[in-house]
Structure 1
């Protein structure tokens, strides 16, 4: 659609406001080069508007309610220019507006970021905290199938994949804050339901609902980072956001092992519900809306300027007239990004593959360290510490290193940063992931001292975090709708996180720990080295051809 046709369509839908408010539109004489101020009051959406454009040089008839205006094509260009100038003026004012989340004080930004990080930590913690108690769960509910037992753990990830598809686009319509709060409150209810589930089917159903509500911070947190921080300042905050989804599953089993051993698996879910409650007590009074279009719209509405409110957030105004259509467009956007952009697809695939291996480790650690090294449920949780150490070290080093490298490359480019400047730091992690897998697999195969496979998982964890951070930053920098882009990646990785543990035991029984992890390492090299290098050189040209990217 051309720019001119787009403006006409917007006029037709009544979604554009321009000029100062007036009581009646002015008339533009056909054939005249002089146009007077014209104002279409978009708040009066009950009035019908029709436009008949004769592109052969004739007049354009605009019928608004009972008033009929006749405009020549020249006047449309004047109107378009006026709209553009008004929008640019308001955008420029917003850049320095104290209400803009990027202009908040450093203290306020990091308080908001800490709340989001806390919310983001809890669902991944819940996803794996029950894993050391799987043997007790099998005995309690008389589960004999390893696949069904694994499903009680991993069904959480299926709903964690579905949640962002709904919640991320909704946050780009209605804002971030209350979706985060409501999701956390629902998690309290669903985790308590898991604690008192009467049978396997009920437990699986409530675990599914836990993942659905827990998807809110996973879907929205990266968008909040984008709201609060400019690209050159984003890496440390994004590292904090990424730490939750990666560190949570690693420390969850450590706590879960001792809880299961001392008071039973039911208390694992009760403790998670308590964590959620504490998060709400801290988060509800401290976290404020960060999404710019929603803040601008609310501010204009407080001023009584409905036209300015519509310009600030036209998507929501349009939704009032056709809610079903607008919701469909927004809810399908993450999938459109995933399958309509090769960059989004390949980055998300590599992230998902590593995440699948991560959850494969969770589902097999208990048996490996119990059968090979004689760990009990309490000590078995210590097997996950290597991953946690790797994640923390990578966050401390990787976030600052990624920021420094990005600024260096941007300065060499005249101070202008590009999303592709995130790729070089990612390649370090792409090398460490297979190294960690080789180390972990073959030391376990050879039954060397238990610290050796744990060191291997630490190397893997360091590499995994070093991959996740640049990919997340790239998606936020490159795509217009950051939350939807991250939701697309979250969907992919959660699906593989669910699927990989289902075949883990069978794979290791057939191949063994060494060859099995070597095969995974080889696939990680194929996905993690050539494709990112190619995107580094060709990504900018590919983005220029895709309307979803910046």
Structure 2
């Protein structure tokens, strides 16, 4: 059965598209399935046409293109295709197989860039929870007894994940993915070292926040890197690798952190993370290449201008929404855009809310682990950390299943829809996760309350994380496929879930004290069902219609 949303006409199926330098704004009639650029090249000395080499007319290649004019062109001129009656010429990839196009790189080069980005995206969330087993030791070292302050030392890092994407995502669109990732990773490393040397709890909390800002870069930019490198039909496998970081990091962190604190001390948590960030920096310097098409095309044009006299007085301007703006104006606009998308797109808001609630539940669940496995089951700090392997296994297995299912379902539904894929074809996997997650919460809560065999709450937490990944992963890909400003939409989702991840653990202890493990987790399961069942079904039936009405706005 074909998708219930509006079907595409033959003209729509053959329409060509491209994305502009602002991060993916769709412009009709230019280049098919591009995740690339439009650049305006304007003569900086006169308004007369500058002879600029351009490709012959015809279908453009897949990664976007540049636009060339002899005068200063604005957004309206781009839509008209002229400036003062003079045509705007295209400068695009040299051919559909242009080796500079990231989507034409060899598999090894593609996966090297995707792998480094995924490594960054693993280490940053790892730092969010590795400290957890050492909080009692940290409190003693700094002489802190207030439980809220102790909890803040852990969760302040997650709050930084809500702030960083707002400016790091647009910076990656202005300066390129590679250098923003490199710079943010070094910033992350520096403040991890500062945490190891922090003289007080106040300074430690401040340094943790700044480390979180640096660590948020791959969370904000990584999805864009994957989209730069891979076509829609091959993107799920790469997204599976990338998505493992944000979900495996928080569950493996306490496993490693427990043994580190027990064997060599709390300060070594920061040292080990800094070493991992340093290893990533070295590997990234050699293996990570620039993937963002506008930056690649602009850099290549500048290199050609050095040897071509006809291009010496031509400068590059960004097209579309950023045309005629300074970098500061564009950065300000881009920082506002994620919030605009979040609160004006019902699709983005509903799906981001669902992800945020589950992310908050995950960290809320983790607040119950130390007491449950240490006090009820009598495990030491190091062994208690092994309980997090249950959620980790759930995340890992469900990611592998989701990647395989998504590609097969997407291809099958696309074939039934005349060979045209729709973002809604990612949604069926979400339905499975929406059912499994609440089952896991019920299982965990009541087995923990009954003090049943230790394997039962571990299985329950693993089921919850399995369900969470089966919803989280396809929703991430759906957002990338749906929104013109994909990086901003992902940033909006990241901000939302990071705020929930920061806030939920602050009231977890009081909630479980009042309701117990069974009642508290039953409440979470009920909320998960209320949000997780209707929204994905609504997106399946109405998503295409809503996207059609919002086309060109978000």
TM-score bracket, shorter-length normalisation: 0.7 to 0.9
Distance between the aligned counterparts of 1:462 and 1:156, measured in 2?
25
Q: 1:479 aligns with which of 464, 483, 487?
A: 483
**Deviation, structure 1 residue 172:** 1.6
Name 2:17's counterpart in structure 1. none
2:227 is aligned with 1:221: no
Q: 1:488 aligns with which of 489, 492, 505?
A: 492
Contact 2:47–2:70 (8 Å) recurs in 1: no
2:394 is aligned with 1:394: no
2:467 is aligned with 1:438: no
**Deviation, structure 1 residue 81:** 9.2
Name 2:127's counterpart in structure 1. 126
Contact 1:227–1:292 (8 Å) recurs in 2: yes
Contact 1:131–1:362 (8 Å) recurs in 2: no
Name 1:335's counterpart in structure 2. 339
Distance between the aligned counterparts of 2:406 and 2:87, measured in 1?
40
Q: 1:309 to 1:464 in 2, by over 3 A?
A: farther
2:319 is aligned with 1:314: yes
1:110-137 deviations in whole A, cap 9, x for unaligned? Answer: 1111111111101100000010111111
Name 1:429's counterpart in structure 2. 433
- Where 2:367 maps in the other structure, the secondary structure is helix
- The number of aligned residues is 491
Q: 1:458 aligns with which of 451, 456, 462?
A: 462
Distance between the aligned counterparts of 1:82 and 1:102, measured in 2?
33
Contact 2:161–2:212 (8 Å) recurs in 1: yes
TM-score, normalised to structure 2, is: 0.84
**Deviation, structure 1 residue 353:** 0.4
Name 1:507's counterpart in structure 2. 511
Structure 1 segment 328-367 matched on structure 2, within 5 A: 328-367=332-371
Q: 1:16 to 1:111 in 2, by over 3 A?
A: closer
**Deviation, structure 1 residue 310:** 3.1
Contact 2:69–2:83 (8 Å) recurs in 1: no
**Deviation, structure 1 residue 315:** 6.4
Distance between the aligned counterparts of 1:298 and 1:443, measured in 2?
59
1:35-77 deviations in whole A, cap 9, x for unaligned? Answer: xxxx9535xx7xxx99xx9xxxxxxxx9xxxxxxxxxxxxx88
Name 2:106's counterpart in structure 1. 105
TM superposition outliers: structure 1 runs of 4+ over 6 Å: 306-309
Structure 1 segment 85-104 matched on structure 2, within 5 A: 86-87=89-90, 90-91=91-92, 93=94, 95-104=96-105
**Deviation, structure 1 residue 438:** 0.6
Distance between the aligned counterparts of 1:380 and 1:83, measured in 2?
68
- Where 1:220 maps in the other structure, the secondary structure is helix
- Where 2:427 maps in the other structure, the secondary structure is helix
Structure 1: give runs of 5+ residues left out of the alignment.
Answer: 1-6, 8-14, 27-38, 54-61, 63-75
**Deviation, structure 1 residue 327:** 1.9
Name 2:277's counterpart in structure 1. 276
The one of the two structures with greater contact order (alpha-carbon pairs below 8 A, sep at least 6) is 2
**Deviation, structure 1 residue 317:** 8.0
1:7-49 deviations in whole A, cap 9, x for unaligned? Answer: 9xxxxxxx95589x999469xxxxxxxxxxxx9535xx7xxx9
**Deviation, structure 1 residue 322:** 2.7
Name 2:502's counterpart in structure 1. 498
Shifted more, 359-368 versus 187-196: the winner is: 359-368
Name 2:164's counterpart in structure 1. 163
Structure 1 segment 39-118 matched on structure 2, within 5 A: 41-42=70-71, 83=87, 86-87=89-90, 90-91=91-92, 93=94, 95-118=96-119
Name 1:265's counterpart in structure 2. 266
- Where 1:332 maps in the other structure, the secondary structure is helix
Q: 1:107 to 1:140 in 2, by over 3 A?
A: same
Structure 1 segment 402-413 matched on structure 2, within 5 A: 402-413=406-417
Distance between the aligned counterparts of 2:173 and 2:552, measured in 1?
15
- Where 1:41 maps in the other structure, the secondary structure is coil
Contact 2:120–2:218 (8 Å) recurs in 1: yes
Q: 1:25 to 1:421 in 2, by over 3 A?
A: closer
Contact 2:322–2:330 (8 Å) recurs in 1: no
**Deviation, structure 1 residue 95:** 4.1
Contact 1:370–1:380 (8 Å) recurs in 2: yes
Name 1:70's counterpart in structure 2. none
Distance between the aligned counterparts of 1:536 and 1:543, measured in 2?
12
TM-score, normalised to structure 1, is: 0.84
- Where 1:310 maps in the other structure, the secondary structure is strand
Contact 1:169–1:333 (8 Å) recurs in 2: no
Structure 1 segment 111-260 matched on structure 2, within 5 A: 111-260=112-261
Q: 1:206 to 1:309 in 2, by over 3 A?
A: same
Contact 1:429–1:463 (8 Å) recurs in 2: yes
1:158-210 deviations in whole A, cap 9, x for unaligned? Answer: 11110011101111222100110111111111011111111111111011001
1:82-141 deviations in whole A, cap 9, x for unaligned? Answer: 746x34xx4575643211111111111111111111111011000000101111112112
- Where 1:119 maps in the other structure, the secondary structure is helix
Contact 2:42–2:315 (8 Å) recurs in 1: no
What is the RMSD of the two structures over their aligned residues, measured on CA atoms?
2.7
Structure 2: give runs of 5+ residues left out of the alignment.
Answer: 1-26, 28-38, 51-67, 306-310
Name 1:67's counterpart in structure 2. none
- Where 1:339 maps in the other structure, the secondary structure is helix
**Deviation, structure 1 residue 464:** 1.0
Q: 1:419 to 1:308 in 2, by over 3 A?
A: farther
Contact 2:166–2:334 (8 Å) recurs in 1: no
Shifted more, 441-450 versus 333-342: the winner is: 333-342
**Deviation, structure 1 residue 352:** 0.4
Name 2:547's counterpart in structure 1. 543
**Deviation, structure 1 residue 221:** 0.3
Name 1:372's counterpart in structure 2. 376
**Deviation, structure 1 residue 265:** 0.6
**Deviation, structure 1 residue 395:** 1.7
Contact 1:426–1:470 (8 Å) recurs in 2: yes
